[in-house]
């Protein structure tokens, strides 16, 4: 059984109200024939009040090409990722030298060597630390990363593992793309990072800590399940072009959630011997208002059950893979789950796919 010792989310310092971002982007895409009224409607309907951006807002217009955007990604992602891991290790009461495995997810920039390799020496990770970069999973990668870390720790129960998710979505927005997908994405996605520190069940920290005012809960990971839906490759992802990463975001995504997620949750829980009415808390990826409404229908819950997710969407937007970890951190720190209660983490991403992770408080 894996014990989550700490979850920490970090954000860039540049925070803007949604209206400021809308106005700035409208001026850029208007030159390419975008409908300004349509853009404003998409941004208003995104459920986002403010977002944090990797760069000051005026600097985006000065990025000449994909190369410059990716250089900015590398610089800022290493900074944010370093902060996230440092904060999470401190929260867990562990040191960089204690880490046996570091897993890193990102989909918003290209890094070879990967981000965790660039961060390792900077933080003082051991020279024999195992690395597992996960690429191409997009929004599902936060939950999938927790699941894969759990898989590793089942086989290495004495070890310490770190999951890092870094996403700088603002650096992928295309200024010459007037498609609905790009206009919607420009109002929905923000920038941020998050890190999870977990230990195997024979590590000295696996016993947890007394619950109290000193810190958040330290839940256990009990099981996980991956679900890949056939013939849905074009529902979500990237098209790679001369100017960078062009988003693929199909209108069918909310329908896919409503159609499949409920049954998949029921089957997963039945297989692990848990009834759905025993799930007390939900940690859902904030895919956007329509996706969350479909999620509520699929799970048979009301808006209050996903209140932490709705709040995260409003405060910081959709951070791709890092978002569900921000929701987990907010859940554990804000209203800690009752000891022994069941929680379920859910996220969807390119594939189209679903990842489920069963947690216990």
Q: ∠ at Cα 50 (56, 180), nearest 5°? A: 90
Name the packing angle between helices 180-188 and 36-44 (round to 10°).
40
Residue 356 lies in a domain: yes
Please tell me whether residues 199 and 301 are part of one structural domain.
no
211 within a domain of the structure (yes/no): no
Pairing of the two strands 130-135 and 101-106:
parallel
What's the chain's length in residues? 361
Using an 8 Å Cβ cutoff, are 306 and 39 in contact? Answer: no
In a domain, 310, yes or no: yes
Same domain flag for 242 and 150? no
Domain boundary among 206, 240, 259: 206
Q: How far apart are CA 114 and CA 111, in angstroms?
A: 5
pLDDT category of residue 209 using cuts at 50, 70 and 90: low
Query: What pLDDT was estimated at residue 155?
Result: 97
**How many helical (H) and strand (E) elements, i.e. helices and strands, does the chain have?**
10, 13
* pLDDT digit string, tens, across residues 302-318: 999 999 999 999 999 99
Same domain, 197 and 248: no
Cβ atoms of 334 and 309 within 8 Å: the answer is no
Mean pLDDT of the chain: 94
Where is pLDDT greater, at 31 or 113?
113
CA dist., res. 249 & res. 40, Å (int):
18
Domain boundaries, position 189: 2-206
- In the residue annotation, 139 being an active-site residue is answered as yes
Q: What is the pLDDT of residue 211?
A: 47
Per-residue pLDDT reduced to its tens digit, 23-44: 998 877 766 667 788 889 999 9
| Residue 274 domain flag | yes
Provide the percentage of residues in the chain whose pLDDT is more than 70.
96
Q: How many domains does the chain have?
A: 2
Answer whether 138's CB lies under 8 Å from 320's CB.
yes
The conformation of residue 19, written as its DSSP 8-state character, comes to H
- Does one domain contain both 159 and 233? no
Mean pLDDT for 261-278 is 96
Q: What is the pLDDT of residue 33?
A: 67
The single residue listed with the structure tokens 């709705």 is: 310
Does 167 share its domain with 265? no
Q: What is the mean pLDDT of the segment spanning 292-300?
A: 97
In this prediction, residue 171 carries a pLDDT of 96
Are 295 and 153 members of one domain? no
Q: Which of 162, 168, 75 is nearest to 120 (CA)?
A: 162
Asked if residue 212 belongs to a domain, the reply is no
Same domain, 166 and 93: yes
Q: Tell me if 94 is assigned to some domain.
A: yes
Q: Which residues pair with 281 in a beta bridge?
A: 343
Q: In the predicted model, what is the mean pLDDT of residues 225-250? A: 93
Residue at which a domain ends, from 178, 206, 234: 206
Name the residue with tokens 């979850």.
7
Domain identity same for 12 and 154: yes
Same domain, 162 and 253: no
State the pLDDT at residue 27: 78
Residues 190 and 311 in one domain: no
Q: Is the pLDDT reported for residue 87 higher than 60?
A: yes
The three-state secondary structure class of 173 is coil
In a domain, 37, yes or no: yes
CATH code of residue 45: 3.40.47.10
User: 357, 147 in Cβ contact below 8 A?
Assistant: yes
Residues 316 and 247 in one domain: yes
Q: Which of 104, 139, 165, 353 is catalytic?
A: 139
Cα-flanking dihedrals φ and ψ of residue 202, to 5°?
A: -105, 5
Q: Which helix (H) or strand (E) is 110 found in, with range?
A: none
pTM of this prediction?
0.95
Q: Which of 161, 178, 206 is the last residue of a domain?
A: 206
For residues 194 and 226, membership in a common domain is answered with: no
The per-residue pLDDT for 31 is 63
């Amino acid at each position: 059984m894996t014990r989550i010792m700490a979850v920490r989310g970090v954000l860039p310092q540049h925070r803007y109200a949604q209206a400021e971002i809308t106005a700035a982007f409208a001026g850029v895409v208007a030159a390419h024939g975008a409908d300004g009224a349509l853009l404003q409607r998409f941004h208003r309907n995104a459920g986002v009040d403010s977002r944090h951006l990797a760069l000051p807002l005026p600097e985006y217009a000065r990025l000449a090409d994909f190369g410059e955007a990716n250089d900015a990604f590398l610089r800022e992602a290493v900074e944010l990722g370093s902060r996230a891991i440092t904060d999470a290790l401190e929260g867990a009461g562990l040191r960089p030298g204690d880490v046996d495995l570091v897993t890193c997810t990102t989909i918003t920039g290209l890094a070879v060597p990967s981000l965790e390799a660039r961060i390792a020496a900077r933080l003082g990770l051991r020279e024999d630390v195992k690395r597992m970069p996960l690429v191409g999973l997009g929004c599902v990668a936060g939950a999938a990363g927790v699941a894969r870390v759990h898989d590793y720790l089942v086989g290495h129960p004495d070890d310490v593992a770190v999951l890092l998710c870094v996403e700088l979505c603002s650096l992928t927005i295309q200024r010459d793309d007037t498609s609905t997908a790009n206009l919607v994405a420009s109002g929905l996605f923000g920038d941020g990072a998050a890190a999870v520190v977990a230990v195997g069940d024979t590590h000295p920290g696996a016993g947890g800590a007394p619950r109290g005012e000193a810190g958040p809960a330290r839940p256990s990971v009990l099981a996980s399940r991956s679900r890949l839906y056939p013939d849905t490759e074009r529902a979500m992802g990237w098209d790679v072009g001369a100017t960078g990463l062009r988003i693929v975001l199909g209108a069918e995504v909310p329908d896919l959630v409503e159609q499949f997620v409920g049954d998949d949750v029921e089957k997963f829980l039945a297989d692990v011997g848990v009834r759905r009415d025993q799930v007390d808390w939900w940690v859902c990826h904030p895919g956007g208002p329509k996706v969350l409404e479909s999620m509520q229908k699929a799970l048979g819950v009301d808006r209050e059950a996903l209140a932490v997710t709705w709040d995260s969407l409003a405060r910081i937007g959709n951070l791709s893979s890092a978002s569900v970890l921000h929701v987990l951190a907010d859940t554990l720190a804000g209203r800690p789950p009752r000891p022994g209660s069941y929680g379920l983490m859910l996220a969807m991403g390119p594939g189209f796919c679903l990842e489920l992770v069963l947690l216990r408080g």
